[in-house]
Amino acid sequence: MQAIECFGPQQALKSNAAILRREIIKRSVATNWADARAEWFVADIYMADFDDYRTCLCTKEHIKEICVLHNSFNQNEVEVGNVCVKKFMNENAQKLFDGIERIKHDINCGLSEAVAALFRRRRIITEWEFKFSIDTWRKRYLSDKQAAARVEINRKVLANMAERKTTHENQENVGGSMSHD
Ligand SMILES: [Zn+2]
């Protein structure tokens, strides 16, 4: 069936939020927005390449900053653009992208707590690296050894983000077929 666009920009914006809600509810256990939304957490974040921009679950195209949201009840996963995540899903997502931007801008900066926690949960960094990051991320002066360890951790995180941008599949499936188990 062909979708017909009859809306101006204002209404289109509104309908993006409506689409996101509908699509999230469709993939959730709960059937109302407030409960459905609470089932999801940020499982992963990554930056898409210029030639590989993504489409948000709300249908907005050319998304560069992507959050992979995981449903802890039914294990569904979706990709949502950073803007939608911040606005409608999980306010902490901004912290994650800010933390990544900081180390991309300067590899000598500390890994923020939010990013360290995410990448520890994903087992990309070790428990030692996680604790080291938490203890030192605000410090501007480190020993040579500490500074080297920090750079190594940052490189690990960035390399992992880059690695995965080619492995994420586009979400073409909807509803029940999204289930991973
Ligand atoms: Zn969106």
The residue behind tokens 């077929």 is: 177
Nearest C-alpha neighbor of 23 from the set 84, 65, 72: 84
- Which two three-digit tokens encode residue 112? 């923020």
Lowest mean pLDDT among 42-51, 78-87, 117-126: 42-51
- pLDDT per residue as tens digits for the range 109-121: 999 999 999 999 9
- Ligand 1 centre to CA of 40 (Å) is 15
- Ligand 1 centre to CA of 109 (Å) is 30
- Average pLDDT value for residue range 166-175: 45
- pLDDT per residue as tens digits for the range 2-25: 555 555 555 555 688 899 999 999
Residues lining ligand 1 (ion), CB within 5 A? 56, 58, 60, 81, 84
- Ligand 1 centre to CA of 58 (Å) is 4
Domain parsing of the chain, residue ranges: 9-90, 95-163
pTM over 0.75: no
